[in-house]
Each structure stands twice: as structure tokens, then as C-alpha cells.
Copies of this chain bind each other. A is one copy, B any other.
Amino acid sequence: MKKAVLLLSGGMDSAVTLYMAMRRGYKVHCMIFDYGQRHKKEIYYAKRLARHAGCDYIVLKIKLPWRKSALLDKDLPIPDRKRLRGIPITYVPGRNTIFLSFAISYAEATNSKVIFIGANAIDFSGYPDCRPIYFKRFNNLVKEAIKARNIRIEAPLLYKSKKEIVRLGKKLGVPFEMTWSCYRGGKLPCGRCDACRLRQLGFERSEAK
């Protein structure tokens, strides 16, 4: 059975990516990162989803001894979504590069040929490491970085709108109730942060004609 590594965040994009990978016949090894997020809720959701989907997972604990992001630093406020331009304060420097660098190591150790990531560059927060050029460069790097020369990153949602992602997820039977997007870790999603607003947008538009 062909194998893949998948970065699982607990949010809806990586959940849809997981179900796509399984539909394509991959045995998926999920990687969940505990990198000092403001709340552990997304980790709990990610684990539960992996179990629900019947995939194995590992949780990697990473402590970044510096703070430069509202996602890591509880002294910085999470902003409500207001504007779509520029890089927001929730940006974590180098986050996807750190995650993917562990993923290539894990892929080589598990003989996986593909690394799936649910990144999206259409209805997204403007993070530099979610853009097509970033993944192109990373794939160019991977060819020279490890012993195995045929491991590649795939971001199948990269060019999809949130609407398309929700529709695709519904078709694949993704249990969206088992995903968590909100940057704030309250009992219920706040409905105002960037992640909440993008999620709502997806669901609203997916219902429209």
C-alpha cells in the first residue's frame, strides 16, 4: 500500500486533505504539532479526527524559545478579521518550513513518497509559506536534502476557494464537526477571528447556488 505523511492541524483544510489522500489510496501517517499554540483544542481535535479516520498519528512537541506571533504569545491579542491585505499578527515565522522539515525526515523514515499539506492560497491569511511559489521552492529543496530523491510535497487545496473546499469535504464525507478552526480556544468558536471568518465564508458560499 502506498504511504503518505500528512500535516494535520485540527482545522477543516487538513481534514479535507486527509480524506482526499485516503480516497486516493494512501495509508496516511498523520503528524500533529504541539508548538506552543495559545490553546490545545486544535490538537485534541486533530487526534480525534485521525483516530476517527483510522490513521496513525504522532504528536511532535516543539518549543520555540522566541515569541513573534499572536498564535504563540498570549500577551498579544488575536485580531478580529478586518482586512485581507498584508500579513497578520497571527503569522508564525517559518512555521510551515519547520513542519515540512520534520515531515521530510518522517517521510524518509516511513518510506512515504508524498507529504500532504492542506495549505490554501485563495481564501487565506496571506502567510508567505502558503503560496504556490513557496511549495515549488520547497519541492526543489527536497530533491537535494535527503537520501530519497523522490519525495514530494502536495498541497491539493492550494488553488481552491473555501467554498470549493467545503463542497469537496462534504462529498468525501469529512466530519466537519470534528474540526476546529478558531484561533481563540473558547468553549465555542468566537466567530470573529480570521480563521472563523474564513470558515464561515466557506460554509455560507457552499450552500449558495
Q: Which residues of A contact B (CB under 8 A)?
A: 58, 60-68, 87, 91-98, 100-102, 104-106, 108-110, 128-129, 131, 133-134, 137-138, 140-141, 143-147
Taking the closest CB of chain B, its distance from the CB of A151, in whole angstroms, is: 10
Residue pair A104, B97 in contact (C-beta under 8 Å): yes
Choose one: B61, B64, B100, B109; the contact of A68 (CB below 8 Å).
B109
- Identify the closest chain B residue to A147 (Cβ): B87
Known: A87-B147, A137-B137, A137-B144. 17 other contacts (CB 8 A): A64-B102, A64-B105, A66-B110, A67-B109, A93-B104, A93-B109, A93-B147, A94-B101, A94-B146, A97-B141, A98-B98, A100-B101, A128-B144, A129-B144, A129-B145, A138-B141, A141-B141
Taking the closest CB of chain B, its distance from the CB of A44, in whole angstroms, is: 19
Residue pair A58, B62 in contact (C-beta under 8 Å): no
9 pairs of A and B residues whose beta carbons are closest in the complex: A94-B105, A93-B108, A97-B101, A66-B109, A101-B101, A137-B141, A93-B105, A98-B101, A68-B109
